[in-house]
Chain A
């Protein structure tokens, strides 16, 4: 009995220590966001702000048009999520369940594109969007998600492969065509994988810096990460404001994660993405 209690206590201790390790940087960021610049740069540094500068948050909000930046980020992230789910699931379904010539070769080619570094495609992609007259719009940031991405295709193909063929056969007997099978049987059965993809896409798009910097020019088109970056001058830090802004920008991700946590954990577990 005592042995089991001890084992349990040890387990809790490990969990407690590891969660402290995880939480410490976050707590430090919160404390730093509430410091003055003098306190922020003071050596030896102090843990707690004294007094807490809650006004840092209000000041940051007023330093730039964060309302617009947030809206732009939301537009990019939401449209990307919708596009990623629709396009990747259709392609993945075809690779998982339909028969067509060169299926496996094509799938290998899709996976192969994951090996191409982003910097290699950056300039050609920029030229394409320039020719399409899409520079300084939000479109290049989300439209690529509507064209299928190898990671999403791979993730959803794995999920679709795990659905027993009996469901597909039953749907066929009921008169469903391939699109109806995909839409009415496979999508509802793979919600965890879809939620995983949605959260991954949302987080990636929400935090993306390189593409918005590349494509956006007007301040009113800025997304949150580059809006925050723009607060930082070449010469001075104002780092306490940057930390406050970064923490504020975390909120939507936190909300999305909490909403989809159940599916996300299940999806990540079942697809081997840990």
Chain B
């Protein structure tokens, strides 16, 4: 009996030992043994397909730059930035990383990103690239170079328009034109549209417009009405303006009449961006990447420019996801990181390969304006609309505390959307809360 126990115990210890060894094994990488080479740590967020493509491009880069050894680290989108914040605090962030466009200002203003202005002016002809100017701060300094650009247009489901006998949206549309079309395209469970007196707003089967949060929701309406959230210094709230009031009233009216999805409607979907691809909305404000889900769902759709405001002003939100260099990295590594960035934006092959993934508008204008991007043979047909939208594109008032003020803003504005708070009160509260966030950071 005792012998049996000893054997069992020894086996358990042996097993733990083996697992311990295998758990520790491979922990020391060989990065230190690179000879004369500069070793560069590259961080990015990715999914399966984009990760494979990125690895392929990294390999090509190393072939062309034998003096640089690149090691990569990637994580799924949300987790990547959580990890990055910890790494920055611990001083172990990658030498160069891919930043969501709305976070570039955060990294710049908090001292984590390197100023790229001199390199950009020396090595890049800024007119050749989309999105580059959207990474400049108020003083004209560059903090990132775009990897791919997301810009918003109006998506519309052609089948639904045909069925309703409505002409497709066009470039001359105003937001009021959109709302009028939405009245006909919003259908209840009995198939009655919103103009029908018997229309049941509590049982909507098809919304006129899918409306979601900032980029694909209120920002383009606010800005095209002449409003916005922050002034040009990005440190002062301008929320309480007559323009914003008109814009918000226009949105709230659409939600009250159930023509647009409100925040509680979105909760009934598998994801807040699902109504359009799941054929529950006739139109959406959507960034370029939304073509992936629409194509995957097999929709018959197209895109056009976002509508104009009452005074003819137009606005297309833009997010230039960008390469950012770690401010704490050594000069040699920073130079190697710049070589990577230059390779990314200037090399036609890289731009073409990335464009084929279909996730973003290519940064290099010559590639974006080529058949490779414009005539892929898959919807939407009018990809030119994405490029034309650059003429009136603008940022999302992003600054070092973008996430924080957005959360406060949404708290108030969502209550107005749901009819729980009058428009004026919601704007006043949002103004106070947002300014408090800005002051807490900038007035220190």
Residues of chain A whose beta carbon lies under 8 Å from any beta carbon of chain B: 37-38, 40-43, 63-64, 75-76, 78-79, 82, 122-123, 126-127, 130, 133-139, 142, 209-210, 213-214, 217-218, 220-221, 226, 229-237, 239
Contact = CB atoms under 8 A, between A and B. Distances in A.
- Contact count band on B: 35 or more
A239 B270 contact: yes
A230 B277 contact: no
B289 A76 contact: no
A230 B92 contact: no
Interface in B393-418: none
Contacts of B22: 75
Contact of A142 (B23, B45, B77, B298): B23
Nearest to A78: B19
A37 B277 CA distance: 11
A252 to B, nearest CB: 15
Contact of B75 (A134, A136, A230, A236): A230
| Chain A binding surface SS class | helix
A237 B277 CA distance: 11
B390 to A, nearest CB: 20
B75 A213 contact: yes
Contacts of A134: 27
Contact of A236 (B23, B46, B279, B296): B296
A231 B48 contact: yes
A41 B27 contact: no
A123 B90 contact: yes
Contacts of A37: 296-297
B232 interface: no
Contacts of B292: 233, 235-236
Contacts of B23: 75-76, 79, 137-139, 142
21 contacts: A37-B296, A43-B278, A63-B48, A64-B48, A75-B19, A79-B23, A126-B92, A130-B92, A133-B28, A137-B24, A138-B24, A210-B82, A214-B86, A226-B76, A230-B75, A231-B47, A233-B46, A233-B47, A234-B359, A236-B47, A236-B292
Contacts of B73: 217-218
Given A135-B92, A137-B24, A234-B289, 12 more contacts: A41-B270, A123-B90, A126-B86, A130-B90, A142-B23, A226-B75, A226-B79, A230-B48, A230-B76, A233-B49, A234-B359, A237-B271
Contacts of B359: 233-235
Nearest to B360: A235
B142 to A, nearest CB: 24
Nearest to B77: A234
Given A42-B278, A217-B73, A237-B293, A79 B79 contact: no
Contacts of A235: 47, 289-290, 292-293, 359
